[in-house]
Amino acid sequence: MSDRWNAENLKHRHRGKSSERHLNKNAILAGLMIGPGQVVLDAGCGNGYMAKEFARLTGKTGKVYALDTDSTSIEVLKSETEGTTIEPFVGDITEETRLSASSIDLIYVATVIHGFSRTEMEGFLKEADRLMKPNGRLAIVEIKKEDTPFGPPLHIRFSPEELKQLISFTPTQLIDVGQFFYMQTFKKE
């Protein structure tokens, strides 16, 4: 992983974009096992299409925070979700957010982290640790580290094994969530 932390990453932030057409939503939802009353954070939510799915499952007693650095996406999502349990807000998941410590059951981060610098990755892991409840979960969706018809250069992608080396939470599940994507989940013990 020696050459992945360079300026190349920063070209791959894709502000406000969506990976919706490439991802198998049903496989992701089946893997996440979200239940009523849970509090979910969709970090780097883009257009928020998964936040809407999460809100369906967490129900009236649950809460879904949808966070993105892209203010345009957040403004659109705010207007679409007014009066629901979804709370979109502009923020940066690599820094301390305005959410309370130990308040989140599940952090979902899809096709976001390959664009992080080393410092941002450290900031992200610190904030994830602060936000997750004991037994909270982190789900990371990333493009596979193999030849694909699109996507960032191979050297900045993460394989599930590399994620496991980088992240100190307990790995729980690895599933395919599209032809070119996987989801690796972790648990905070």
Residue numbers of the site for ligand SAM (CB under 6 A)?
13-20, 43-46, 67-70, 73, 92-94, 110-112, 115
Q: What minimum distance in Å lies between the beta carbon of 13 and ligand SAM?
A: 5
d(CA 169, CA 7): 27
Which of residues 20 and 161 has its CB atom nearest to ligand SAM in the complex? 20
Which of residues 41 and 60 has its CB atom nearest to ligand SAM in the complex? 41
Q: What minimum distance in Å lies between the beta carbon of 20 and ligand SAM?
A: 5
Q: Which residues contact 140 (CB under 8 A, 6 or more apart)?
A: 109, 110, 113, 158, 163, 167, 183, 184, 185, 186
d(CA 189, CA 67): 25
Q: What minimum distance in Å lies between the beta carbon of 189 and ligand SAM?
A: 25
Which of residues 100 and 119 has its CB atom nearest to ligand SAM in the complex? 119
Judge contact between 151 and 157, C-beta under 8 A: yes
DSSP single-letter state for residue 85:
S
Q: What minimum distance in Å lies between the beta carbon of 169 and ligand SAM?
A: 19
